[in-house]
Amino acid sequence: MLLRICLIVAILAGLGAGGLGYYEVSTQIPLLTGQRDAEHKAKVDEISAHNKTKAELKKTQGELAQTKQELASTQSERDKAVARAEAQSKRADDLSDKLAKATQDRDVAQNQLAAYKATSLTPDQILQLTKQLKDANNEITAINGEKAVFQRKLMEKTVELASLIGPNTDILLPADLKGKVLVVDPKWDFVVLNIGDDQGVIPAGEMLVSREGKLVAKVIISNVQKDRCIANVVPGWKLGEVFEGDEVTPAHPAS
């Protein structure tokens, strides 16, 4: 009897639990359904918004590409306009220069014509005077060349005389003789200068080496060529290092 009562109680308890579960399920289903529908709607709305954003982005990209193309075209037209303006400006400057030169040539021609009229000379007389002037200039050039040769020979004889008289005689070099150091050999203390026989350099002549107005050393000519010479640094006169490009001038210039 007790077993039957327990069984009945268990059955009743099971039915009660099942009824409670059914009640809970029956109340949760609408809530879950509503939540599912809400999430589905939100997803659909999100997909729609995403598609709308993509479409707007694509449209914006298209407009941006068109704007870039229009900007490139505008810049190209601007560059062409600037190039044309520069070409026109250059042409105007060239024309201005040509006009100025033509005006100058005209003025020179007018002055020459006025001078010609003032001389009262015939064209033949002017041609003869021009020939005489040209011949005189050629003669002066030849005389100056011979003078330079004689001066070099005189200096050479002066050197020979100095070597016979004694080592303390100064060798005079042209006062306007100027040059620069081309090569420096610090091991053997000699330099190569860019002046030679054509400029009046003679053996045993002494040159002062300077840089920015300051004395660096004194050198003595040992070998003379046509347009360059070799000189040795005088011991005791080396006040600093000699560099390529240093200037050289006569230690004993001729008056």
Segment 228-243, tens digit of pLDDT? 999 999 988 999 999 9
In the predicted model, what is the mean pLDDT of residues 134-139?
73
**Contact predicate 175/253, CB 8 Å:** yes
More confident residue, 9 or 191: 191
Q: Per the domain annotation, does 198 fall within a domain?
A: yes
Copy the structure tokens of residue 40.
Answer: 């589905």
The pTM of this model reads 0.39
CB neighbour list of residue 206: distance below 8 Å, 6 or more residues apart: 170, 171, 173, 218, 219, 220, 221, 234, 250, 251, 252
**Contact predicate 198/224, CB 8 Å:** no
In the predicted model, what is the mean pLDDT of residues 198-226?
92
**Contact predicate 201/195, CB 8 Å:** yes
Residue 165 clears pLDDT 50, i.e. is over it: no
Nearest alpha-carbon partner for 219 in 195, 198, 197, 254: 195
Q: Is 245 exposed, middle or buried (CB count within 10 Å of its CB: 0-12, 13-18, 19+)?
A: exposed
Q: Which of 50-59, 190-199, 225-234 has the lowest mean pLDDT?
A: 50-59
Q: Is 247 exposed, middle or buried (CB count within 10 Å of its CB: 0-12, 13-18, 19+)?
A: middle
pLDDT of residue 245: 95
Q: Per the domain annotation, does 50 fall within a domain?
A: no
Q: How many domains does the chain have?
A: 1
CB neighbour list of residue 243: distance below 8 Å, 6 or more residues apart: 181, 184, 211
Residue 15 clears pLDDT 90, i.e. is over it: no
Average pLDDT, the chain: 78
Q: Which of 76-85, 89-98, 134-143 has the lowest mean pLDDT?
A: 134-143
Q: Per the domain annotation, does 60 fall within a domain?
A: no
pLDDT of residue 170: 75
Q: In which band, very low, low, confident or very high, does the pLDDT at 50 lie, cut at 50, 70 and 90?
A: confident
Q: Per the domain annotation, does 207 fall within a domain?
A: yes
Q: Per the domain annotation, does 190 fall within a domain?
A: yes
Task: Give the domain CATH number at 186.
Answer: 2.40.10.340
Q: Which of 1-10, 12-21, 97-106 has the lowest mean pLDDT?
A: 12-21
Residue 180 clears pLDDT 60, i.e. is over it: yes
In the predicted model, what is the mean pLDDT of residues 44-68?
81
pLDDT of residue 150: 58
Q: Per the domain annotation, does 141 fall within a domain?
A: no
Residue 148 clears pLDDT 90, i.e. is over it: no
**Domain range spanning residue 190?**
173-250
pLDDT of residue 76: 81
pLDDT of residue 250: 95
Residue with tokens 């080396």: 238
